[in-house]
Amino acid sequence: MFGYRVPAPDQAMLISGGRRGLGGAPFRVVTGHGKFVLPVFRKTRFLTLSMCESEVTETCVTKQGISLHVRAVIAFKVGNDTESIINAGQRFLSDQDQMSVLTGRIFAGHLRAIIGSMTVEEIVTERQKLAAEVLDTSKTEMAKIGLIVDSLQIQSIDDGDTGYIDAMSAPHKAAIQRQAQIAQAQATQAAVEAEQVAARNQAEYARQTAVVKAEYSAEVDRAQAQAAQAGPLAQAHAQQEVLAAQTELAQKQAALRQQQLVAEIVKPAEAEAERIRVLAVADAERMKIQAEAAASHDRVALDRMLIDQLPQIVKEAAGGLAGANVNVLNGADGLGEIAAGLVAQGLTILDSVRQNLNGQGPDTRPDKADAPLALQGYTRTPDEETEEAGPENGRTGQA
């Protein structure tokens, strides 16, 4: 449409004529949208808001009095706020290229001032600190002319022919060279060790190969020897098996023959011996029973005979007193004792005979041993009778 103007996205449109702008500025600022401008009565100009670059190459003297050639690059632009656009428009609208020249001069002055307060070592090792200090000191001045700095980069620092920086870097270079030499020596040593290990591995491989070959050769020789001995060994094993079978057969035949002998001879002999033993035992038992019966019958008969002969035995015992001189000290009682002794003597003789028939010894009971000699079958000798007939005995009667 006729009279309608629109600024570009990186531009600010300045409209002069008519009303004044913000803060009494001689123009109004339009950004980001269009504006109807009356021709003839209004005039429009455009101020760039894009990024600009300024390069600074300056010779600066450090705190130590050493001259350094410093090269820096500044990236800046017009601020986006209305006040910055007004300040920049009033200064650079007719010649916008002057922004780069003026910015370079401003930063050159601040760069010389900051480097003058630092040593070479600080400048070389702390470039970021140098850039930050330059930006801080120039920020106020740049804001007054409507510019803002996005970045400041120190591109290079050179001391010319003085050689200070090279001397400063010499220890580091020596250390780096020493480390490089050490690394090279270590690499060489590692290479030599690797070669030695490879040589040892090769030698070990060769040794193992030789051992395997020798073992293989020995195994082949053993196999050939075994193949050569297979026939005789097989024949020997066969003969050994035949002998073992024959031995086993002989053992079985011997065991069978032994069983036959046991069945034919030993068992019948044992049976006959057992029969004879049983018959002998039976015969002995029969004879024992007969003997016991006969003995029992004989004892009964003997007892009866002894009882029948007891009066005669007593009579014979009493006959031993005939013609004997016996002193009776207590009269009739003494004669009764003699008679009782004779009866007891007969009973003793009867008991002794019975025991001898039964296989027992004589009875040695005290009552019979203590009987008077006349009652025990004692016979006086003629001398004893003559002595007793003497006058010194003082007999008072005869029996």
Q: How far apart are alpha carbons 191 and 199 in whole angstroms?
A: 12
What is the CATH architecture of 51-168? Answer: 2-Layer Sandwich (3.30)
**This model's pTM is above 0.85:** no
Which tens digits make up the pLDDT trace of 166-203? 787 778 778 888 889 999 999 999 999 999 999 999 99
What is the residue whose two structure tokens read 């029996």? 399
Strands 43-48 and 11-16: antiparallel
What is the residue whose two structure tokens read 């195994």? 219
- φ, ψ of residue 97 to 5 degrees: the values are -70, -20
Domain assignments of the chain as residue spans, ordered by start? 51-168, 320-389
Residue 330: predicted pLDDT:
53
Mean pLDDT of the chain: 78
Q: How far apart are alpha carbons 381 and 320 in whole angstroms?
A: 12
Strand-by-strand arrangement of the 11-16 sheet: 27-30, 11-16, 43-48
Proportion of the chain above pLDDT 90, given as a percent: 13
CB 1 within 8 A of CB 28: no
* DSSP bridge partners of 158: 69
Residue 203: predicted pLDDT:
93
* Residue 67 token pair: 């001259």
First-last CA distance in the chain: 215
Give the residue-averaged pLDDT of 356-374: 46
pLDDT band at 303 (very low <50, low <70, confident <90, very high): low
Residue 63: predicted pLDDT:
87
For residue 351, give every residue at least 6 positions away whose Cβ sits within 8 Å of its Cβ, in sequence order, or none. Answer: 363
Which tens digits make up the pLDDT trace of 82-127? 888 888 888 888 888 889 999 999 999 889 998 888 888 888 888 8
Weakest-pLDDT range from 101-110, 288-297, 321-330: 321-330
Residue 28: predicted pLDDT:
83
